[in-house]
Amino acid sequence: MLPSDVATWLIASAVSVAIILGVPIAGGAAVVKRLRGRPAASFVAIALVLAALILGYGLLAETITAIRGASLLGVVVLVAIAVLVGRLSLAGLILIAAASPWTIYATGFLLDIVVAHGRLDPMVVLPPLTAAVVGIVAGVSMIRFHRQYLARHPEAATSPPQRTARAFGATGRALLGPSVLGLNAAAGASAIVLVAGAQVTVMTSHGQPVLASLAVVVIGAIATGLLAAVAWAVVWPPRSRRAFEAFAWLGEWGLARFTELTEGRVSPTFANMKRYVRNNAERPEDRWIRVEVLAAAGKVDAAREMALRLSDDTPITRAERIDYLTYVDWLAGGPGDPTALRDAVAAIQPTDGDDRLRADVALALTEVRLRIAAGHPDLVAPMRDVRDRLGRRADRVMVASARRLAPSYLRISTVFVVAVTLLDRAFTV
């Protein structure tokens, strides 16, 4: 091996190792934070799919045979492990993830042939594209077969997907709808956009001078992040979407309430809410957020004591106080009986006003929690019912939610695009 080849191999290997270790660790940390309370198996499965995606990028290393061979071997090993432990759907997802980078790259190359009017040779990518498509078809077939098998043999499922632990955030997770490896349809669509956007950006910047490549990366990262946020807002199964719209409508009001409480000085993120509670003395008007923060921290007794200090001098405040007490009782393992809350909500007039509708959504959330505790097959039906009453009030709430998520998606897309671009440039040194 020539000295220049050794240098190329060392640089590519160093960058590859940094990305292969860094991206899953950073992504894993975010997943753990988002999915607290989920079974550990979900995190392991997501980490394996991320690893398969990284290995898929390794298959693009045309000039470094060792990396390509190691990536192929890694994919085979991951699929074999998933099959041996009976996770056929996971094996299918690993195949799809590993085949996706080649599929995107080869498709882009074939489109270039059209633009170049035949000056490029399609046989350069047709064989690997065929192999990648076969891998995707095999992956989809594995997932379909596994689901059909579980439908015929429900006893083979390791854990009922409808049961969720009594914990802060359990209702929100239920409202996200059906998921695979912790990702619902909206999150899955945004992940696909992130992968595709990163690949298109790399293809565009490939072989460009440093400054031109930097411009492409900046534009690509911004466009990818924004499109991922749009995908999150759009790609929802109708039943799940309607239930989540009611939840988000109430949540947007809560965020606006916190903004008003802090006179707009603090961004309404949960981290800032915890910081506010920690750094400010208690006031009657901020006790509601203290109940939320204490409940999230698992301090159920302290949350109950705080809820007992909430005002109840109007029908609206009385319903809110009972709502929080019912919620804390449910968190503590109690029945969370909504009878008193129903009576309090019925006292709020007019019945079609925003205050009454917010109380109706809160009551529906209480009924969802009861279904969670009972393992009901349709957890979020009460939220779909109350969404019908909201009408046009909640029609644009997903747009508002996507706007709040956009900064997070921009950060993720920037990390992903930069990482893959560095990997591409290392391969082409």
Residues 6+ apart with CB under 8 A from 254: none
Calpha distance 318→346 (Å, rounded): 11
| Helix or strand run (H / E) with residue 183 | strand 183-184
- The predicted model scores a pTM of 0.65
Residue closest to 413 by CA, chosen among 103, 195, 102, 234: 195
The answer on pLDDT for 18 being more than 80 is no
| Report for 100-109, 305-314, 373-382, 413-422: range of highest mean pLDDT | 305-314
> Is a pLDDT exceeding 80 seen at residue 112?
no
Instruction: Report the percentage of the chain scoring pLDDT > 90.
Output: 33
Q: What is the 3-state secondary structure (H, E, C) of 254-298?
A: HHHHHHHHCCCCCCCCHHHHHHHHHHCCCCHHHHHHHHHHHHHCC
pLDDT band at 328 (very low <50, low <70, confident <90, very high): very high
d(C-alpha 290, C-alpha 280), whole Å: 11
Highest mean pLDDT: which range of 38-42, 82-86, 115-119: 82-86
What pLDDT sits at residue 57?
A: 73
Does the pLDDT of residue 289 top 90, yes or no? yes
Supply the DSSP symbol for 128: H
- Percent composition of the chain: helix, strand, coil (DSSP 3-state, to 5): 75, 0, 20
Q: How many Å apart are CA 55 and CA 140, to the nearest integer? A: 19
Residue 163 has pLDDT above 50, yes or no: no
Where in the chain are the domains? 1-159, 240-395
Q: What are the phi and psi torsion angles at 179 (to 5°)? A: -140, 160
More confident residue, 184 or 410: 410
How many C-beta atoms surround the C-beta of residue 128 within 10 A? Answer: 17
Largest CA distance in the chain: 84
pLDDT class of 29 with cuts at 50, 70, 90: very low
The predicted model gives 377-402 an average pLDDT of 91
| Percentage of the chain lying above the pLDDT 70 cut | 78
Give the range among 26-30, 118-122, 263-267, 295-299 with minimum mean pLDDT: 26-30
Is 59 exposed, middle or buried (CB count within 10 Å of its CB: 0-12, 13-18, 19+)? buried
Amino acid letter, residue 334? G
Q: Which helix (H) or strand (E) holds 395?
A: none
pLDDT of residue 230: 93
